[in-house]
Chain A
Amino acid sequence: MKKVVIILIFILITVHVTLSVLGSRGEYAAEKLFYRAMKVNSRIVVNPDVAPPPVLAQVENDLKTLITKYPNANITRTANTVLVEFYTTYKQYDKALDVVGSMMDKYKSDEVIMSTAHFMKGDIYEKQDNWPKALAEFELLRDKYPYSRLGIQIPIYIAKHYDSKGQGSEASSAYSEARSFYRRIEKEHSGSGLGLAASTLLFQTYMNTRNYEEAGKVLEETINTYMGQPVILQLIGQVENVFVTKLNEPQKAIEIYKNISGKIPDGKFKKVLQKRIDDLSAKKPS
């Protein structure tokens, strides 16, 4: 029996070793290395100022090794982004810009990576207090990749920057530009996910400039155009905020709730809406 047991163990070890060797290269090894770096990184991001240098060096080396050793792995794209964020956190802006540069060279045809790289570059310049260079980068991102997740947000991002710095006239002009930008995209892509994103950002520009009348109109239009439970769940809080709190028009909110209730099939959701309609109806206008 001993002989048989030894043979069986030998078979299992052979299978294990063979499959380990065959499966330990390429994407899998890259993912494993990335996981290791992220595991250590998750411990140091809690308090980056007191992270011991050897631990920082380990994260940096793992990410650099991954990028060099597995240039074609899918995870390498994310590793590049993480390495830039890592350098940015520790204010090593030159190193961060180098990585962004190599990302831009390598992934020229990848819209997601390119838009991320432009944004990170702008963000680094902004952190270095070089707003003109940052703005140039953000404008490049907006013009080249207007339909990307980051590109579409740039107009409002620029306006918010001026707003936060107390540059009123620049902010006003940037918000005006942003509104035109979002109206154009909404018109061109009405009914699609991109149209919804543009519409929501247009609403946000009016909210940021405290133009609640216009914000309310955009909100109502958005709800009517993109009627569907996920969208409604995302926007319903704003109906309450704009029409009840800001504009003191509970009747308008009731009208919108009734409209939604007639078009959404979910019984539980209808009950919640009806409860809110009843509460608002019972409330005396102030």
Chain B
Amino acid sequence: MKIHIEKIWLVSFNFIREHPVVLAPFIAIAFFETLILEIVNFCTRKPLAVVFAPIIRKFFGEQFLHYPNNFTLVPRLFNLGQIVIYILVSVFLTAVAVQIFFNIKNNSPIVRRAIVKNSAKRYMAFIGYGLIFILVMIIIERSEGFLFLKAAKVLSRHMFKIPDELFRVGSSLLIFFTNVISQVFLIFTIPIIVIEKKNLLKAILGSAILGARNFLKVLWLILLPFLFYVPLFLTKAFMPIVMDKTFPESSFYVTLFGILISIFVDCFIIISAAQFLLETKKAK
């Protein structure tokens, strides 16, 4: 049986529309992330500065404690907080969303406490996956940034000087697309743990094999929804200019906007991946 990506998107979209309860875990993630964003946003002001100012002074410098430089630090600090949230909360809640999806598909009842309890049994596996995922992303980002810088230097020396703006756009897009490509191999890990009840290593392996066998299909499946993040990525790459041309607080609003759209985009991607997994199983 042939799998049609457009059909999976349509089914996933209709599923979310008909069962908005599946958005609940992503709303919870957005809540925790916004809370972190609020702390990051106000950490240089009283009363939070009492706790955070010495830390920021030590690791980033005195200038980041003052307006408007404090806002250049918002996205960086938020990213650090987001990593912690991702490992401890987001992966677990994504698993809860997949469990809700699976129960609805099987006409099983949605008992909130039972679903959370069931997912909590594999909490350590989710933490493990979160750690591995973050590690992979950091390695990719670092090595890619390094390679891109080297390539740009060689190009500048022998052919033409790459303008700073082009370099920023290029490196941001490169990081974005490599992230998407690496997601092709990791996206099914949580659905496999939840639906097929496999352990972490088997799930990662299963996800990698499924991604490799259906590389172009899975890439297409997740690329389109991920494209919603491109304007955000580019805005973040030019954040200092955006802040200068508009107002310093824009870094806070751009980050907040990212959190809000991730509720729908992340939910759509994981439901599409789970649907793809079910259809692949059915096709076998």
Contact = CB atoms under 8 A, between A and B. Distances in A.
Interface in B14-48: 20-21, 23-24, 27-28, 31, 34-35, 38, 41-42, 44-48
B45 A1 contact: no
Contacts of A22: 45-47
A11 to B, nearest CB: 8
Nearest to B244: A39
Interface stretch (A12-20, A150-158, A163-171, A214-222): A12-20
Contacts of B38: 12, 15-16, 19
Contacts of A19: 38, 41-42, 45, 48
Interface residues of B, number: 22
Nearest to B67: A31
B20 A1 contact: yes
B37 to A, nearest CB: 9
Contacts of A8: 27-28, 31
B157 interface: no
Contacts of B248: 35
Contact of A23 (B21, B27, B34, B46): B46
Nearest to A34: B67
A28 B68 CA distance: 10
B164 to A, nearest CB: 21
Contacts of A35: 67-68, 248
A1 B55 CA distance: 38
B70 to A, nearest CB: 9
Interface of B: 20-21, 23-24, 27-28, 31, 34-35, 38, 41-42, 44-49, 66-68, 248
A5 B27 contact: yes
Nearest to A26: B46
User: 9 smallest A-B Cβ distances: which pairs?
Assistant: A23-B45, A31-B67, A19-B42, A8-B31, A28-B45, A32-B67, A15-B38, A12-B34, A35-B68
Contacts of A16: 38
B67 A28 contact: yes
Contacts of A23: 42, 45-49
A15 B35 contact: yes
Which of A4, A5, A28 lies at the interface centre, i.e. has the most chain B CB atoms within 10 A of its CB? A28
B35 A12 contact: yes
Nearest to A7: B31
A1 B21 contact: yes
Nearest to B41: A19
A3 B45 CA distance: 32
Contacts of A12: 31, 34-35, 38
Contacts of B28: 8
A35 B38 CA distance: 22
Nearest to B27: A5
Interface in A183-238: none
Contacts of B67: 28, 31-32, 35
Nearest to B30: A8
Nearest to A12: B34
A23 B23 CA distance: 34
Which of B28, B31, B67, B248 lies at the interface centre, i.e. has the most chain A CB atoms within 10 A of its CB? B67
A138 to B, nearest CB: 32
A24 B35 CA distance: 19
6 contacts: A12-B38, A19-B42, A23-B49, A25-B46, A28-B46, A35-B248
B268 to A, nearest CB: 18
A7 to B, nearest CB: 10
